[in-house]
Amino acid sequence: MPRANDAVEAVLLEYADLLSILSDDPFKPRAYEKAARAVAGYPADIAGFDLKQILQIPSVGRSIGEKIHEFLQTGTISALEELRAQIPPGVREMIRIPGLGPKRAMVLYRELGISSVDELLRAIEEGRLAGLRGFGAKTAENIRAGIERLRGAGGRVLISVAADLAELLEGRLRDVSGVERIAHAGSLRRMCETIGDLDLLVASRDPTPVMEAFTSLPEVERVLAKGDTKSSILTAQGLQVDLRVVQPEAWGAALIYFTGSKAHNIRIRELAVRKGLKLNEYGLFRARSGRLVVAATEEEVYERLGLPWIPPTLREDRGEIEAALEGRLPELVTERDIRGDLHTHTNLTDGLATLAQ
């Protein structure tokens, strides 16, 4: 079960991101980033902490501590909501353009009313940036090139960006009425280096309030589709998020189905067919009678197919099926194997000394 620390880290990082756009003080965003790291690395789950306990966390002063306490008590931070209201989602998407940055994005919004990447590209083509101080022809061309690089990546984002977003959205949906379980699946659960879209899975007997909450999240820029058990949104970061709601009894089968790569899923369905079974997101069934065999956990489904549980990071059809059948699955490195993490900060971020020093 994710700790409250993770959700707090996500909102503090978002607060720092918004501050960097709106504030001329570079130290305030860094303070929130530093506090976010401290909370994430704090050994205890802070879910039940009062303000006094929160202030014992390194790098957390009273102002930040009060915001953390408010979040733990209410699930939101009023100051964060105020910042969100000041910045259109499209402006936050513009910040992702290499070479633009938060300050220039806000100048474009305030001076020219540009609030999306498409609007910015049109403004460059029409030469409307030329009248702005600091936006000469070379700068405009660099921004255009940045847009091309951004779109050339196919809309994919680094795993760190997708993981932060998943943590934030899962935290928002976890307390929705009827939600019994929630997890991310897809390429993020497989720990791919870049993520094209985010897959969220919820176990609930009543999907309606879940879908309403999901499509009304503050991170939503546009609702792409809304159904009874599946909805899709586009976030301000430009990342598509798909949510599926399944019955709690089908959790394991659904998690397998929506986690594995297409090739991995084809292979395990072939195994099922050879055993006279049928596998889908609802469970593992007898092919002839349609009777449910197992569905509740991943371990049960894999075991019934004659396989040990296969770690999500291996589910790519790159030999893991054969290795599992032969009892040769590798033992993966986990957090339990980490004995230490040695690093240092320089004055390029929140350190005091240069790299040479």
Q: Where in the chain is the domain with CATH 1.10.150.110?
A: 4-86
pLDDT at 231: 95
Buried b (16+ CB within 10 A) or exposed e, 240-279: ebbbbbbbebbbbbbbbbbbbbeebbebbbebbeebebbb
- Predicted local confidence at residue 1, as pLDDT: 47
The predicted-structure confidence for 242-263, as pLDDT tens digits, reads as follows 999 999 999 999 999 999 999 9
Tell me which CATH code domain 4-86 carries. 1.10.150.110
Report residue 31 as tokens: 């303070």
Q: pLDDT (tens digit, 9 = 90+) per residue, 14-67?
A: 898 888 878 777 788 889 999 998 898 888 889 999 999 999 999 999 999 999
271's CB contacts (< 8 A; 6+ apart) are 305, 306, 307, 321
**pLDDT tens digits, 331-349:** 999 888 988 888 778 876 6
Q: Which residues contact 279 (CB under 8 A, 6 or more apart)?
A: 253, 256, 257, 268, 269, 272, 285, 301, 305
pLDDT at 185 over 70: yes
The CATH number, out of the four listed (3.30.365.10, 3.90.550.10, 3.30.210.10, 3.40.630.30), of the domain defined by the range 252-336: 3.30.210.10
- Sorting pLDDT into bands at 50, 70 and 90, what band is 2? low
Q: What is the pLDDT of residues 62-107, one digit of tens each?
A: 999 999 999 999 988 999 999 888 887 778 778 778 778 777 888 8
Largest CA distance in the chain: 73
Mean pLDDT taken over the chain:
89
Q: Where, residue-wise, is CATH 3.30.460.10 in the chain?
A: 157-246
What is the rounded average pLDDT of the residues 140-162? 78
Decide if 185 contacts 235 (C-beta within 8 A).
no
pLDDT of 323 reads 95
CATH number of 157-246: 3.30.460.10
The CATH 3.30.210.10 domain(s) of the chain lie at: 252-336
For 102-128, how does the pLDDT look when each residue is reduced to its tens digit (9 = 90+)? 778 888 988 999 988 889 999 999 899
